[in-house]
């Protein structure tokens, strides 16, 4: 009787196929994980190799000249680099107060819960709108709408180099505004998470000694969440630098350098999107060089952002 029951457990001695599946599965998952690293390094290496010819030809001059002349094979990415830096920084400057303000509204029980939930949902949905649709909207709706406003600024503040040209259509300024729309949800979401992670007892402590809401926010809650919020801002900066479609559609795609925000310009990603399809030879290599610069910029910012966000999780 007893041995009969025992015999029913046919797998007491693991069959070789069982062992094979088990170890095979593990190795497979290791291989899949390794793929990520391989892809990441291949991207870096491929872009670098493809841009080598251009790096050798133009060296660092590429960064400070703004000529882009496929006929005579003279390339410089200064206009695109200026456009990338100025659009992402200015859009960040606008999006930071909006995003953090919204995050505070979402976490600090200022309005009734139902209203905050709707606002939170809408900000999340904003992040889901494809960038090309935002670009379409920017081209046909937003840019014509804000043009008179931009020209009003030009009329009164035109002596400032950044407002020195008339707004006649696509340009850096509408690109900046559409970038604000795109990075706002990132800043809001990460600031919201960071604020929610601040332990409630800190809030109570501040209110308990008679601090007002904003006093405790500025002195206790925001400082406690600051590294997470900064990390989120950096991630948003990385996104703004790399954002392509909406910007390409609204920035005007011009390599003529101008300091003015109202003039058409370029960003590196717009340059790539606009020219890559029809490029060949040394132009491809120069575009790859620009792509390499873009990649290094986003890499540095992202790594720094990750480091900051990690710092937050160690704090409490």
Partner 1 sequence: MIKKEKNKLNKLDYNIRLSRNICNKLLTYTIIVFSLISIIPLLLVLIYVLIKGGSQLNIDLFLLEPQPPGSQTGSAGGIGNAIIGTIIITAIASLIAVPIGVGGGIYLAEYSKGGFFSKFIRFGTNVLAGVPSIIAGVFIYAVVVVTKVIIGSSFSGVAGGMALSILMLPMVIKTTDEGLKLVSDDLRKGALGLGATMYTTIVEITLPHAFKSIATGIVLGLARAAGETAPLIFTALFSYYHISSFNDIFYEMSSLSVLIYNFALEPYSAQNQLAWAASFILIFIVLILNIFSRLFSRRKSY
Partner 2 sequence: MTNKTKISLENVSISYGESEAVKNVYLKIPAGKVTAFIGPSGCGKSTILRSINRMNDLIEKCSLKGRVLYEGQDLYSPNIDPIEVRRKIGMVFQQPNPFPKSIYENIAFGARVNGYKGNMDELVERALRKAAVWDECKDKLKESGCSLSGGQQQRLCIARTIAIEPDVILMDEPCSALDPISTLKIEETMHQLKKSYTIVIVTHNMQQALRVSDITAFYNAEVASGKSGGKIGYLVESNDTEKLFNNPDQKETKDYISGKFG
Considering only residues 108 to 137 of the shown chain, the ones binding partner 1 according to CB under 8 A are: 110-111, 119, 122-123, 125-126, 128-137
Nearest distance from C-beta of residue 63 to partner 1, angstroms: 18
Binding to partner 1 in span 34-93, by CB under 8 A: 34-37, 39-40, 42-43, 46-47, 50
* By the rule CB under 8 A, 149 interacts with partner 1: no
Among 15, 23, 42, 212, binds partner 2 (CB under 8 A): 212
Judged by CB under 8 A, how many residues of this single chain contact partner 2? 21
Phi-psi region of 98 (alpha: psi -120 to 50; beta: other; left: phi over 0): alpha
Name the DSSP letter for residue 251.
S
Q: How far is residue 110's CA from residue 145's CA, in Å, rounded to a whole number?
A: 33
Nearest distance from C-beta of residue 57 to partner 1, angstroms: 18
User: Which of these, 182, 178, 150, lies nearest to 262 by C-alpha position?
Assistant: 150
The total of other beta-carbon atoms located within 10 Å of residue 55's CB is 16
User: Which of these, 87, 265, 262, lies nearest to 166 by C-alpha position?
Assistant: 262
Q: How far is residue 44's CA from residue 40's CA, in Å, rounded to a whole number?
A: 7
Binding to partner 2 in span 219-278, by CB under 8 A: 219-220, 223-224
* By the rule CB under 8 A, 188 interacts with partner 1: yes
Among 4, 72, 210, 278, binds partner 2 (CB under 8 A): 210
> Of 74 and 213, which CB lies nearer to partner 1 in the complex structure?
213
Judged by CB under 8 A, how many residues of this single chain contact partner 1? 86
User: Which of these, 149, 153, 176, 151, lies nearest to 166 by C-alpha position?
Assistant: 151
Angle at which helices 282-315 and 222-242 cross, to 10°:
170
Q: Is 254 exposed, middle or buried (0-12, 13-18, 19+ CB in 10 A)?
A: middle
Select from 55-63, 154-162, 192-200, 295-303 the region that touches partner 1 (CB under 8 A): 295-303
Among 50, 57, 142, 207, binds partner 2 (CB under 8 A): 207
* By the rule CB under 8 A, 143 interacts with partner 1: no
Binding residues (CB under 8 A) for partner 2: these are 109, 113, 199, 201-212, 215, 219-220, 223-224, 315
């Amino acid at each position: 009787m007893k041995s009969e029951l025992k015999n029913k457990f046919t797998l007491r001695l693991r069959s070789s196929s069982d062992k094979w599946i088990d170890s095979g599965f593990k190795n497979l998952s290791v291989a899949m994980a390794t793929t990520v690293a391989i892809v990441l390094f291949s991207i870096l290496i491929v872009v670098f190799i493809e841009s080598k010819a251009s790096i050798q030809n133009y060296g660092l001059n590429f960064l400070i000249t703004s000529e882009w002349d496929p006929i005579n094979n003279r390339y410089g990415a200064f206009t695109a680099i200026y456009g990338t830096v100025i659009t992402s920084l200015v859009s960040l400057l606008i999006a930071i107060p909006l995003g953090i303000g919204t995050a505070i509204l979402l976490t600090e029980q200022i309005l009734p819960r139902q209203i905050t939930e709707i606002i939170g949902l809408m900000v999340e949905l904003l992040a889901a709108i494809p960038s090309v649709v935002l670009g379409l909207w920017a081209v046909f709706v937003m840019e014509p709408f804000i043009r008179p406003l931009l020209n009003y600024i030009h009329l009164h503040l035109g002596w400032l180099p950044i407002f020195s040209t008339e707004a006649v259509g696509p340009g850096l300024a509408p690109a900046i505004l559409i970038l604000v729309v795109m990075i706002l949800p990132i800043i809001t979401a990460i600031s919201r998470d960071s604020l929610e992670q601040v332990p409630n007892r800190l809030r109570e402590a501040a209110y308990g000694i008679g601090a007002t809401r904003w006093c405790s926010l500025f002195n206790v809650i925001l400082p406690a969440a600051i590294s997470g919020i900064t990390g989120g801002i950096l991630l948003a900066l990385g996104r703004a630098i790399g954002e392509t479609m909406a910007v390409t559609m609204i920035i005007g795609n011009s390599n003529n350098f101008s300091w003015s925000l109202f003039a058409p310009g370029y960003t590196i990603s717009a340059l790539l999107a606009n020219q890559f399809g029809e490029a060949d030879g040394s132009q491809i290599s120069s575009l790859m060089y620009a792509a390499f610069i873009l990649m290094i910029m986003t890499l540095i910012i992202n790594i720094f952002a990750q480091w900051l966000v990690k710092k937050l999780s160690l704090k409490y």
